[in-house]
Amino acid sequence: MVKVRYLFLLISILFLSSCGGDWLPLSLDENLGYQSSQQVEENGFFKIVDESEYPEAYQSLNKLKDKILASGQLKHQNDFHWELKIIEDDSVLNAFCLPGGYIYVFTGLIKYLPNESALAGVLGHEMAHADMRHGTQQMVKNMGIGLILQFIFGVDNSSLLNIGANLLSLSFSRSDEKEADLKSVNYLYATDYDARGVATFFEKLKKENKDPELIEFISTHPNPDNRIEEILKEWKRLGAKKGEKFTKEYQTLKNNLP
């Protein structure tokens, strides 16, 4: 009888796996994100900026993050962690958000962007990956049914650490990247920010003739032109409202970084 029950469960999981990732428990996102965040913060590869030493920088970034969350556009606004950390590395133009809402921003990206709405656009893009559960779905796709079964029947800490390490090396599909771009526009459109913020990053890269293949943020979709076009199209579809860029306030944020 027990074997029949497990067989039924396995068949049910296989069927649900073909239907997308919405059926997965949200606690899976939180567990995956937490384990990956431990990898980020404890392996010594990244230098996390101490909030107690740079409170003004964290205050500015958390205000920006909270404004995006308050837009009312995120499906899992109240379900995930949404904690933000700064990584000190001026050579990296990147940010990422792990499942469960663990957000990391490199100082290089902050210093490279020209205004607050541009950073909000990039953060909106990364938060969209978590909100749409792209990372969790990719993990299930890559690791297969074993990941789900481990989660349901129990998994030891060493396995969780391996899963967390694998998550950090994931890259998103082009459809995931496009969805995150458009979600960023929608998030910002419901705030006082210029909703075209994420396009500012691509426009700056294009203007400076930087090789997209060298930029981690866009390595899975190396054509900024297409992304700018789609972002502007979505902004116009929403009504083409012009928001604020907060350039002066952004300079203050830059001055408060290490």
Closest residue by Cα to residue 62 from 87, 37, 86, 41: 86
Q: Which of 82, 46, 34 is nearest to 62 (CA)?
A: 82
Residue 56 falls in the annotated catalytic set = no
Candidate list 126, 177, 203, 234, residue with the active-site label? 126
Identify residue 244 by its one-letter amino acid code.
E
**Is residue 130 within 8 Å of residue 98, measured between CB atoms?**
yes
On whether the CB atoms of residues 74 and 131 are closer than 8 A, the answer is yes
Cα 3 from Cα 155, distance rounded (Å) = 20
Q: Given the DSSP bridges, would you call strands 102-106 and 95-98 parallel, antiparallel or unpaired?
A: antiparallel
Are 181 and 197 within 8 A, CB to CB?
no
CB 126 within 8 A of CB 61: no
> CA-to-CA distance for 125 and 231, rounded, in angstroms?
11
- Residue environment code for 45-75, b if the CB has 16+ CB neighbours within 10 A, otherwise e: ebeebeeeebeebbebbeebbebbbebebbe
Residues 6+ apart with CB under 8 A from 141: none
Whether the Cβ atoms of residue 35 and residue 102 lie closer than 8 Å to each other: no
The catalytic residue positions are 126
